[in-house]
Amino acid sequence: MANVPATARVVVIGAGIVGNSLVHHLARLGWRDIVQLDKGALPNPGGSTGHASNFIFTVDHSREITDLTLDSVRQYQEMGVFTQSGGFEIARTEERMEELRRRMSSARAWGIEAELVTPEFVKEKVPFIETDQFIGAFWTPGVGVVDSLRAGTIMRESAMATGALTVVPTVEVTGMDVEEGRIRRVHTSGGDIETEYVVIAAGVWSPKLGDMAGVSIPLTPAVHQMISVGPCPQLAEREGEISFPIVRDMDTFCYERQHGADMEVGSYAHRAILHEPEEIPSIEQAKLSPTEMPFTSDDFDPQLEQAYELMPELLGAEGAEMRYAINGLLSLTCDGNPILGESLVKGLWTAAAVWIKEGPGVGRAVAEWMTDGHSEIDIHHSDIARFHPHQMRREHTRMRTTESFIKTYGIIHPAEQYESDRDQRLAPMHESQKKLGAMFFETAGWERPHWYESNAALLEEYGDAVLPREHEWDARWWSPIINAEHLRMREAAGVIDLSAFQILDITGPGALDTVQRTCVAQCDVAVGKVVYTPVLDAKGGFLSDLTVMRLGEDHFRVVTGGAHGMADRKTFTDQLPSDGATTLTDVTDDVSTIGLWGPRARDILASLTDDDTSDSGFGFLTCREIRVGDITVLASRISYVGELGWELYVPMGDAAELWERLLDAGAPHGAVPVGIGVYGTTGRLEKGYRAYGAELDGERSIVEAGMQRPKVKAADFVGREAYLAQREAPPAAVLCTLTVDDHTSASGVKRYMLGGEPILAPDGGTLTDGHGHHPYVTSAGSAPSLGKHVLLAYLPPDQATIGNELAVSYMEELYPVTVGSVDATGLFDPANDRIH
Amino acid sequence: MVDVLVCIKRVVDSSSEVVLTEDDQAVDGRFAGFTTSAHEECAVELAVRIAAATGGTASVLTLGDADATEQLRSALAVGCTAATHIVADAQTFGPADVAREIAAVVRDRGHDLVLLGNDAADSGDFQVGIRLAYELGRPVVNGVATVSVEGSEVVAGGDGPDGHETYRVPLPAVVTVLEGGVEPRYPTVPGRMKAKKIAIEERTPTAEPSGPKRVRLLLLPPQPSDVQILGKGAEAAPAVVDLLERLGVLAR
């Protein structure tokens, strides 16, 4: 056995599927002096990999997770440890069938072979299933099982063969030293290691290790129950590990997976059973392994009954006994995504809360990210930098995972809101908003009004122009009041609470350089100018899009969305010069923002201030302080809804008062409070404005998004070289705005897409862009001022022509759509006359 | 038609490092979980077989807190058809107390044969079987691995110091069982489902515990393990063969 080396370039903690994939890819990418530690023995050191059921269903609603899964499958296949079995997801209810139709949308969008089939089709392949228990199924022939322990060994050995890797099992990490914000040293039971990088890939133990360096890795160990029943004669007579497709019984939250002569039954239906990382038994204390906790049969009994009803002849077969039963520990996070990337401690990386189906893909992506600063697959929904302070609490993770555990196989609406641990961040005008009947949605812990019931009276005024939705699913987490607020804003004005903005002040001698290096747009502008800019990674993919105000020669204010604000904060912080003279201050909790937009916005603001609000006196894309009575406000003339108006930045203590003044002064002009439903969707989509996380991500370019400006600034910035190259080449895909021409479904009910649906040829044929990807809807929503439902999608360039007629598939029916815009030009007010 | 009663105890699974509770009064089961000891699992298996062979019944009994129903259900899942739960804190009941409580049930029901484990896996008192037999005035056989019923006799066998021993005692009788004579079965899915539906009879103890009390449990210091590396690869083969011969696994 190897001894613990005194020095390393990188220490990878953990030899589960993630750590093993990571050392393999780091070595492949040229890293040397890699040291991999695990407190357990190899090849199964006792973590979650060792008891995983090891099957892979490929279709997920998330593109990021799907891409990581597909990449992992490819890697498992290359290693020869993948056995294709096919898989069914069966529906016991009509509601579930509808969800499976939605799953077909995702399959088509991601280009994965799948089809909806009858119970008889399932019985053909799984003869021991009872067809009277379900009404249909989603069939994915590419589903399979892997040998994750073997894969881990292969990857570890490939890294060792290059001489890049030293593996030291049965050594426990006991501490980490952070000096000047950088990881320096790892203490282990076998000695200390001086190192430049550390990756925590320790699964359920990761939070405990993160704590050693003062870093929150907010995941919780949670129980997933599993039993193994056998020998079943029906299975024993077949050769090999698996010869029947895996069945996911979606409505009972169970799965049945053949493993040799045994049938494994796993469940996500029991109560959430959470543990603390510190309370996981040691290897010596554990009966089986630390992550195979004692089975609590009472929790499992209801599932047993349902599984038996589905496969009575198999599970009740003569001689078939429950030979193995565990409460297996796995890692859950507050939003269901993995935790990847560099922490706030420089050089300390994380790769945790990863399932077997994503392991090798995550290993590759994180290794690329560590090597190049970006990865081929965009993994920013999993970035550890995404967490806000309230999400770093263990309590938050516990409450959210308790709520979401039961939804592991659940039907989750794209707009569904969590119920637990809400009210973490309340805007100063929250009480006022409650009185106005605000329907609160959560963003980054902030409670944001999505619409106001106080505006319900507008519904009558606008009638069918609010584009009501007949189908419950389409109208869930939605209200026609949003569209009424929209119409009133376009007609008069709207007052919008934007407190969730993440606001970062960068000051000091290096402020200009920091902003210039980070942002694509020219930020060396006159004081008082406002700049909208993309932020790129080195390969020219989007890291963000945001606005920058120059408040002084050495003072810039960066304003970005709350959801992605913490990651943006890290992006800018990473660009600060090391001398300490230039600082980034997060003023999010000190400054509130209120938007005022609409044709009457100027009249309303002018009635409250003596300062000049005329177009000539306060031009578009400028900002300056004004006085609203006794309140000092930083007003910025910009718009995300395509109307005349301002973002008004005000100290938190004055925000509630300013809010009331705006509503009072606005009322005679017809202004109403307007929710994020308008700001984030309807107002934005009519104008073709792009959103990070929907249209913009690491796999998209400025050119594809149709956002290129005539010139590129001379100053250097991250991604400049790649961006210049992108500008020279024809785009592989073009972001387009489409409108739905007819919403009528076969049943006569009008249906409204919500996003994620595939765009197809009019006859349903597949379209493919220059990346080999298939177009899908990145954002969908009402455009009340156009009387249309609008979709954004990246189309193959040859399909990106105005007037081109295509189709969108929604719940397995085709609806005709027409391309309305092939660049960033809005369908509404294309000349942008209204913002002046 | 033999009516068998098998007595079991909820104990911490002792197959890993033993952890004591903070008050040193019990073994802590939060890591290893709780189980029925191997001796008692064999006793349950024997009870079920005897019931099947004679067309009789196998009932299961425990004295323990509310959580002990888990062990009763496990016994029901492998073939017992009735269960009695004397609800009490097992930690405060010494062997004399437990024997008295079991005897009360047996007197009520008249079970022909009472099977117990040779000793409890946690407290290791080795007394309940003998005390129970004394209370009931029945013959008792201790520490046997196989038990069957032939006519009105119990035939019990096991390895003794001088070879295999076989005992024949008349029914009604008490027998304590050592593991190793039979392979306990795992529950089946239908068995587990059936077990869930059987009503468990709950009883309160007939008297307060009066026997000797435990002061506290002590953990022995861990035994240092001695690892001797015999060699590497093919060169180690002669040393391995030599060792296996010395251990008697291979004939010399």
Question: ∠ CA A522-A528-A530 to the nearest 5 degrees?
Answer: 45
CB A308 within 8 A of CB A316: yes
Residue with more model confidence, A136 or B24: A136
Tokens linked to A422? 């809400």
List the single residue in B32, B73, B186 with the smallest CB-CB distance to A294.
Answer: B32
Tell me the shortest Cα–Cα distance from A297 to chain B, in angstroms: 8
Whose tokens are 């090849």? That residue is A43
Question: Which residue of chain A has the CA closest to B78?
Answer: A321
Q: Please judge whether B189 and A282 are an interchain contact, meaning their C-beta atoms are less than 8 angstroms apart.
A: no
Is A61 noted as a catalytic residue in this protein?
no
| DSSP label at residue B174 | E
Is A321 within 8 Å of B188 when comparing Cβ atoms? yes
User: What dihedral do alpha carbons A747, A753, A759, A765 form, nearest 10°?
Assistant: -10
Q: What is the mean pLDDT of residues A176-205?
A: 97
Query: A504, A650, A644: which is closest to A572 by C-alpha?
Result: A504
User: Given A294, A308, A321, which is nearest B13 (Cβ)?
Assistant: A294
* Lowest pLDDT segment from A77-91, A123-137, A256-270, A626-640: A256-270
What band does A286 get if pLDDT is binned at 50, 70 and 90?
confident
Residue A259 annotated among the catalytic residues of the structure: no
A777-783: strand order across its sheet:
A759-760, A805-810, A813-821, A734-740, A788-795, A777-783
Decide if B222 is inside a domain. no
pTM of the model: 0.93
Confidence at residue A404, expressed as pLDDT on a 0 to 100 scale? 87
Closest CA–CA distance from residue A151 to any residue of chain B (Å): 24
Nearest by CB: B15 against A287, A293, A307:
A287
What is the reported pLDDT for B213?
72
Q: Is B219 within 8 Å of A345 (Cβ atoms)?
A: no
Q: At a CB cut-off of 8 Å and minimum separation 6, what does A464 contact? A: none
Instruction: Give contacts of B15 with chain A, Cβ < 8 Å.
Output: 287
Q: What is the domain-level CATH number for residue B11?
A: 3.40.50.620
Q: How many cross-chain Cβ pairs, A to B, lie less than 8 Å apart?
A: 65
Q: How far apart are CA A517 and CA A523, in angstroms?
A: 10
Instruction: Supply the mean pLDDT for chain A.
Output: 96
Report the gap between the CA of B233 and the closest CA in chain A (Å). Answer: 14
Interface probe, candidates A225, A282, A287, chain B, greatest B C-beta count within 10 A: A287
Catalytic-labelled residue, pool A67, A76, A251, A255: A255
Residue indicated by tokens 């972001």: A735
**Between chains, do A285 and B188 touch, taking CB under 8 Å as contact?**
no
ipTM: 0.83
pLDDT at B28: 84
Sign of CA dihedral A496, A502, A508, A514: negative
Between vectors from CA A122 to CA A119 and to CA A124, what angle results, nearest 5°?
Answer: 115
Of the pLDDT bands very low, low, confident and very high (cuts 50, 70, 90), residue A419 is very high
B214-231 tens-digit pLDDT: 778 888 887 777 788 888
Flag whether B215 is in a domain.
no
Q: Which of A249, A251, A545, A697 is catalytic?
A: A545
**How many domains in chain B?**
1
Domains of chain A and any CATH numbers? 7-209+218-333 (3.30.9.10), 413-500+590-671 (3.30.1360.120), 502-586 (3.30.70.1400), 684-835 (3.30.1360.120)
Q: How far is CA A733 from the centre of its chain?
A: 22
Between A10-19, A284-293, A330-339, the lowest mean confidence (pLDDT) is in: A284-293
Catalytic annotation present for A224: yes
Longest dimension (CA), chain B: 67
**Cβ contact, residue pair B189, A308, below 8 Å:** yes
**Domain-embedded: residue B251:** no
Average pLDDT over residues A489-496: 98
Report in angstroms the alpha-carbon separations of B153 from B57, B149, B173, B242.
17, 6, 9, 48
Residues of chain B with Cβ-Cβ distance to A321 below 8 Å are 185-188
Q: Where are the beta strands (DSSP E) in A275-423?
A: 292-293, 321-333, 339-342, 348-352
> Which residue in the set B15, B31, B196 is minimally distant from A281, CB to CB?
B31
Question: What is the side-by-side strand order in the sheet with B153-160?
Answer: B146-150, B153-160, B163-170
| A321/B17 CB distance under 8 A | no
Angle between helices A63-78 and A359-372 (to 10 degrees): 100
Q: How many helices (H) and strands (E) does chain A have?
A: 22, 39
With contact defined as beta carbons under 8 Å apart, do A718 and A517 qualify?
Answer: yes
Residue B250 lies in a domain: no
Tell whether B17 is within 8 A of chain A (Cβ): yes
Does residue B220 form part of some domain?
no
Greatest alpha-carbon span in chain A: 89
Is pLDDT at A43 greater than 90 in this prediction? yes
Residues B31, A322: C-beta atoms closer than 8 Å: no
Pick the range with the lowest mean pLDDT from A323-327, A739-743, A749-753: A323-327
| pLDDT tens digits for range B170-223 | 999 999 999 999 999 999 999 999 999 999 999 999 999 987 777 788 888 877
Query: pLDDT band at A177, cuts 50/70/90?
Result: very high
Q: Strand, helix or coil at A779?
A: strand
B155 touches chain A (CB under 8 A): no
On whether residue B225 sits in a domain, the answer given is: no
Write the pLDDT tens digit of every residue in A44-56. Answer: 999 999 999 999 9
What tokens does B18 get?
A: 């033993």
**Chain B residues touching A298 at Cβ < 8 A:** 70
**B192 vs A: CB within 8 A:** yes
User: Do A297 and B192 lie within an 8 Å CB cutoff?
Assistant: yes
Closest chain B residue to A263, measured at CA? B189
Query: In b/e form, how buried is each residue of A447-472, taking b as 16+ CB within 10 angstroms?
Result: bbbbbbeebeebbeebeebbbbbebe
Name the residue in chain B with its Cα closest to that of A230. B188
Distance of alpha carbon A533 from alpha carbon A24, whole angstroms: 37
Give the pairing type, strands A583-586 and B140-144: unpaired
- Tokens 């490939």 correspond to A158
> Can you tell me the distance from the alpha carbon of A461 to that of A689, in angstroms, rounded to the nearest whole number?
28
Chain A residues with CB inside 8 Å of B74's CB?
A: 297
Residue B224 lies in a domain: no
CA distance A6 to A163: 17
pLDDT on residue A1: 53
Q: Is residue B146 part of a domain?
A: yes
Mean per-residue pLDDT for B95-116?
A: 96
Lowest mean pLDDT among A10-19, A178-187, A233-242, A653-662: A233-242
Provide the residue range defining the domain that includes B166. Answer: 3-203
The 10s digit of each residue's pLDDT in A71-81 is 999 999 999 99
Nearest to A387 by CA among A376, A396, A378: A396
Mutate to test the interface with B, among A275, A297, A324 (most CBs of B within 10 A): A297
Give the pLDDT confidence of A506-544 residue by residue, as tens digits.
999 999 999 999 999 999 999 999 999 999 999 999 999
Which whole number is the average pLDDT over A135-148? 97
Phi, psi for residue A352 in degrees, rounded to 5: -140, 170
Interfacial A residues in 283-322 facing B (CB < 8 Å): 284-287, 293-295, 297-298, 301, 304-305, 307-308, 315-316, 320-322
Contacts of B186 in chain A (CB under 8 A): 321-323
Using 50, 70 and 90 to split pLDDT, how confident is the model at A827? very high
pLDDT given for residue B123 in this prediction: 80
Query: Any chain B CB within 8 A of the CB of A1?
Result: no
State the catalytic residue, choosing from A24, A25, A51, A224: A224
Query: CB B70 to CB A297 under 8 A?
Result: yes
What's residue B30's pLDDT?
80
User: What is the rounded CA–CA span in Å between residue A61 and residue B83?
Assistant: 49
